[in-house]
Amino acid sequence: MNRVAELHPDKAEPGRNPGMALDLDWVDDVRVNRSAVERRAASLPGRRTVKKDWQAAWLLKAVTCIDLTTLSGDDTPGRVRRLCAKARRPVRGEILEALGAAELPIHTGAVCVYHEMIETAVEALAGSGIPVAAVSTGFPAGQTPFELKLREIEMSVAAGAAEIDIVITRRHALTGDWKSLYEEVRAFREACGPAHMKTILATGELGTLRNVGKASLVCMMAGADFIKTSTGKEPVNATLPVGLVMARMIRAYRERTGHAIGFKPAGGISRAKDATVWQALMKEELGRAWLEPDLFRFGASSLLGDIERQLSHYATGRYAASHHQPMG
């Protein structure tokens, strides 16, 4: 299928964001027109749709951008190993064959776990090229002592995590203490060492879109390689207005510094058609490079099941039962 091949070019190695000195004048200048943002976000689902071959291609691309995640108190090594097996082969072989995509390297962007399951995931993914991401810094609330947060990061990197998803201290953003937020994230970035750092803003708890914009900018200044909407544990998680604000902060940062920062919406994205709306937002606001897992991820494991179901329908003309797409 030509459409599939066009959306699966060779990948480039992701860059690192060195950060920059905190520029409070730039932060203070951030303005957000809420009504304009909401109008733009509301227009996306109706204005940007993909069908037939293009839809299959975009959904396969979405699979490669999923951080397949298990963050439960009852996680076991067996569950993590099964999830890693799904990450290696997220779409059934017969579906890929029917789509003409059997030779494409289709696997998820990463597997995300708590610290205790890092070694299990690293072992299960050996040789696959799929990185292990670990949530850290007192995820999801971020209310543990600062020194423990740094130690947690260091231990996760030592255990083999190639990506660290940190959470910010929300009160810094809520009180406008941008210097403290910058220093906190800068310290986390140093503790990450060679691991890429994804900075979770918990946007549903930041109060205003202007706070979201400012927090995004400060975290990028401090060295975040990705900015991420949510932990998935808040009452309100990834929304298109929040995504639009964060994308435009990424664009402004790139224009000022030349560094491309990744984006990860997380929480509440469970339908294939929602995935394509987010992909359209990325392509329109940031460009083609933000359709690749180096710069875009979904924090949404349940999304994979619906994508596989839609691909099955496209390939066979019927929807498969949910038990044909087990997650792990």
Residue 79 lies in a domain: no
Q: How many domains does the chain have?
A: 1
Burial class (CB in 10 A: 0-12, 13-18, 19+), 313: middle
Residue 126 lies in a domain: yes
Instruction: Report DSSP state, residue 321.
Output: P
* CA–CA dist 132, 67 (Å, integer): 9
Lowest-confidence segment of 38-52, 209-223, 246-260 by average pLDDT: 38-52
Residue 103 lies in a domain: no
Is 185:166 a contact under the CB 8 Å cutoff? yes
Amino acid occupying residue 69:
T
Report pLDDT for 48. 63
Which residues, at least 6 apart from 294, have a Cβ–Cβ distance to it below 8 Å?
Answer: 11, 12, 13, 14, 262
Instruction: Tell me the average pLDDT across 168-176.
Output: 97
Amino acid occupying residue 6:
E
pLDDT(222) > 60: yes
Instruction: Tell me the average pLDDT across 308-313.
Output: 91
Residue 227 lies in a domain: yes
Which one, of 206, 187, 74, lies nearest residue 136 by Cα? 187
pLDDT(2) > 70: no
Q: Confidence class of residue 316 from pLDDT cuts 50, 70 and 90?
A: confident
Residue 141 lies in a domain: yes
* CA–CA dist 116, 233 (Å, integer): 19
pLDDT(168) > 80: yes
Which residues, at least 6 apart from 59, have a Cβ–Cβ distance to it below 8 Å?
Answer: 272, 275, 276, 307, 310, 311
Q: How many CA atoms lie within 13 A of 207 on its CB side?
A: 11
Range of the domain at 120: 21-50+110-306
Residues acting as catalytic residues: 165, 228, 264
Residue 55 lies in a domain: no
Which one, of 261, 266, 264, 250, lies nearest residue 297 by Cα? 264
CATH code (residue 202) = 3.20.20.70
Residue 160 lies in a domain: yes
For residue 133, CA distances in Å to 27, 54, 67, 111, 161 come to 29, 30, 8, 6, 5
Going through the chain in order, the beta strands assigned E by DSSP cover 67-69, 110-113, 132-135, 163-167, 196-200, 226-228, 262-264
Residue 98 lies in a domain: no
Measured in whole angstroms, the distance separating CA 323 from the mean position of its chain's CA atoms is: 26
